């Protein structure tokens, strides 16, 4: 086990892509050669981004998101010697995070698509959409976490991660038409509770009290 541990965060923190690709490459090469300090530097730089995508995919379960974040970085450490620099480390670790979240979702498939959306989402309301855009983004983050699992996964992958429907269908083992139907389902549930709000921005933090941290 790596001598690193993420300090628990109650909410995902969104981190923009690093411009220091040269610095990343040097760290990756060192880490691939067994330099733990170099890997710890990469970990500190990307842990919040990995946590955020996992948190969204699995439905906002903080403790499980932390476990899967650790799992993703353990897999990264084990795979780094084979890293070929065909993409940036940021892209690679992000895809690994997505795959880790999807693997967990598939492992829990027996309980998926239970209808968590109704009563839970009903508790998340915005009184004045025009005046409270920041609060709306926060509530959207919370609402996405409460969507039925497959609808949530398709929404996150399509609307947030930018995947195409054929990519989602291949990854989730469904037809392209089913992917489109699940996306429509997710958006319909959100619109039922938020009206014509813009669902294109899921960049706010969400904690237990529904306020940005």
pLDDT recorded at residue 142: 82
- Specify the residue for token string 């989602």: 168
Q: Is residue 31 part of a domain?
A: yes
Q: Residues 118, 95: one domain?
A: no
Q: Is residue 78 part of a domain?
A: yes
For 52, the domain range is 21-107
Q: Using one digit for the tens of pLDDT, what is the confidence trace for 46-84? A: 999 999 999 999 998 999 999 999 999 999 999 999 999
Of 131-135, 149-153, 171-175, 194-198, which range is least confident? 131-135
Q: Residues 156, 138: one domain?
A: yes
pLDDT recorded at residue 80: 95
Q: Is residue 6 part of a domain?
A: no
CA 67 centroid distance within chain: 14
What proportion of the chain, given as a percentage, has pLDDT over 90? 53
Of 72-86, 113-127, 151-165, which range is least confident? 113-127
Q: Is residue 212 part of a domain?
A: no
Q: Residues 121, 101: one domain?
A: no
Residue 139 near residue 210, CB atoms below 8 Å: yes
Q: Residues 101, 49: one domain?
A: yes
Q: Exposure of 112 by Cβ count < 10 A (0-12 exposed, 13-18 middle, 19+ buried)?
A: middle
- Identify the CATH number of the domain in which residue 57 sits: 1.10.1740.10
Q: Residues 132, 89: one domain?
A: no
**Angstrom distances, CA of residue 212 to CA of 73, 123, 162:** 27, 18, 25
Q: Look at residue 205 and tell me whether its pLDDT is greater than 60.
A: no
Indicate the SS3 state at residue 71. helix
Q: Residues 164, 92: one domain?
A: no
Among 59, 149, 162, 164, smallest CA distance to 109 is for: 149
Q: Residues 30, 101: one domain?
A: yes
Better-scored residue on pLDDT, 115 or 74: 74
pLDDT recorded at residue 131: 43
Of 97-101, 139-143, 161-165, which range is least confident? 139-143
Among 90, 12, 92, smallest CA distance to 55 is for: 12
Q: Look at residue 119 and tell me whether its pLDDT is greater than 50.
A: no
Q: Look at residue 139 and tell me whether its pLDDT is greater than 60.
A: yes
Q: Is residue 145 part of a domain?
A: yes
Q: Look at residue 43 and tell me whether its pLDDT is greater than 80.
A: yes
Q: Look at residue 129 and tell me whether its pLDDT is greater than 80.
A: no
pLDDT recorded at residue 82: 93
Q: Residues 119, 55: one domain?
A: no
Nearest-5° Cα angle at 199, 11 to 49 = 35
Nearest-5° Cα angle at 90, 179 to 3 = 110
Q: Look at residue 35 and tell me whether its pLDDT is greater than 90.
A: yes
The Cα–Cα gap between 134 and 130 comes to 10
């Amino acid at each position: 086990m790596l001598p690193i541990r993420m300090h628990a965060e109650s909410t995902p923190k969104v981190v923009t892509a690093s411009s220091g690709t040269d610095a990343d490459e040097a760290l990756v090469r060192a880490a691939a050669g067994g330099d733990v300090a170099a890997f710890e530097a990469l970990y500190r730089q990307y842990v919040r981004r990995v946590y955020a995508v996992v948190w969204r995919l699995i439905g906002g379960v903080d403790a499980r998101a932390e476990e899967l974040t650790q799992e993703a970085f353990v897999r990264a450490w084990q795979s780094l010697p084979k890293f070929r620099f065909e993409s940036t480390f940021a892209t690679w670790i992000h895809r690994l995070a997505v795959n880790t979240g999807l693997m967990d979702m598939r492992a829990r498939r027996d309980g998926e698509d239970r209808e968590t959306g109704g009563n839970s989402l009903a508790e998340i309301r915005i009184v004045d959409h025009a005046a409270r855009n920041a609060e709306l983004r926060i509530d959207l983050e919370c609402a996405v976490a409460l969507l039925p699992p497959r609808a949530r996964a398709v929404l996150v992958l399509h609307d947030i991660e930018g995947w195409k429907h054929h990519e989602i269908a291949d990854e989730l083992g469904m037809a392209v038409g089913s992917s489109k139907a699940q996306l429509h389902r997710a958006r319909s549930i959100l619109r039922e509770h938020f009206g014509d709000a813009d669902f294109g921005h899921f960049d706010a933090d969400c904690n237990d009290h529904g306020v940005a941290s």
